[in-house]
Amino acid sequence: MRTDHASGKAGAFAAFWVLLSMQLARARRSWRQYIIVSSAMPSGIAILLRAMTSHPSAALALQIISGNVVLSVTITAIAMLAQQVAWMRQNRTFDYYHTLPVANSAVILAILVAYLIFALPGIAVVLTVGALFYGVHLVISWGLVPVILGTGVALSGIGALLGMASRDGELAGLTGNLVMMAVLFLGIIPASRLPLPLVALSDILPSTYGVRLLLHLLTGHATAVVWLVDGVMLLVFSALLFLAVERLSYRVD
């Protein structure tokens, strides 16, 4: 039984690796554009906010930097993924994947991971620009990797649902950009400065917990309690969103 379980895990990993390789091959001609998109907008917003604030506090600077890192993830996990899923739905690409022994959530995860690979240079640019322009010391650790991946997975559920609900790629791009801007503003503005309705809205966005984890990680104060609370919230959002994705993907026209 253990052997069958191990072989099942190996088979699932091999299938996911094939899906990821397919997505990387698809993006081989446009990876430069992906890197530019994931770095230019977040870095530009960080620089603009620095120019508009004469003496930002360290806490505000870290909030802005963390929010823009999550924005870089959001561009790929919501805006770009929503368009790709809408295109796949419109062209009935999911019909092809339904004939294969793979879950639709695995297909979407493969698309997300491919996008995140190209977003990593952009995230590095945002961290570098933020540290230089705001004059703050950032603690860079390996803990950033699971936080970025976990935030991306949770947000990608939203992107996939938007893509499935849109009639075409253009509408998916529009709604994805609107959601992306909501994530941006709720990510860079401290909760203490938000009105109560927006605080309630931020509590149901996975990006909020990703920003919190990043804030603690970049300051070197990510305790076990922080990992437990915010990390578990990201896992819960990921599970719920991908359960919805898996169910709805078999019902779309």
What is the spatial distance between Cα 163 and Cα 232, in angstroms, rounded to a whole number? 26
pLDDT tens digits for 193-251? 888 888 888 888 899 999 999 999 999 988 889 899 999 999 999 888 888 887 776 55
pLDDT tens digits for 47-72? 998 888 878 888 899 999 999 999 99
With H, G, I as helix, E, B as strand and everything else as coil, classify residue 28. Answer: coil
Contact residues for 58 (Cβ-Cβ < 8 A; gap 6+): 136
Q: Which residue from 39, 240, 210, 207 is spatially nearest to 124, judged by alpha carbons?
A: 39
Contact 188, 46 (CB under 8 A): no
Q: What is the pLDDT of residue 66?
A: 92
Contact residues for 188 (Cβ-Cβ < 8 A; gap 6+): 45, 49, 63, 64, 67, 68, 71
Contact 82, 172 (CB under 8 A): yes
Longest CA span, the chain: 64
Contact residues for 147 (Cβ-Cβ < 8 A; gap 6+): 210, 213, 214, 217
What is the spatial distance between Cα 34 and Cα 27, in angstroms, rounded to a whole number? 9
Contact 184, 67 (CB under 8 A): yes
CA-based radius of gyration for the chain: 18
Q: CA 193 from chain center: how many Å?
A: 24
pLDDT tens digits for 145-204? 999 999 998 998 888 889 888 888 888 888 988 888 888 888 888 888 888 888 888 888
Q: What is the pLDDT of residue 190?
A: 82
- pLDDT at residue 107 greater than cutoff 70: yes
Ranges of H-type helices in 91-143: 93-98, 104-134
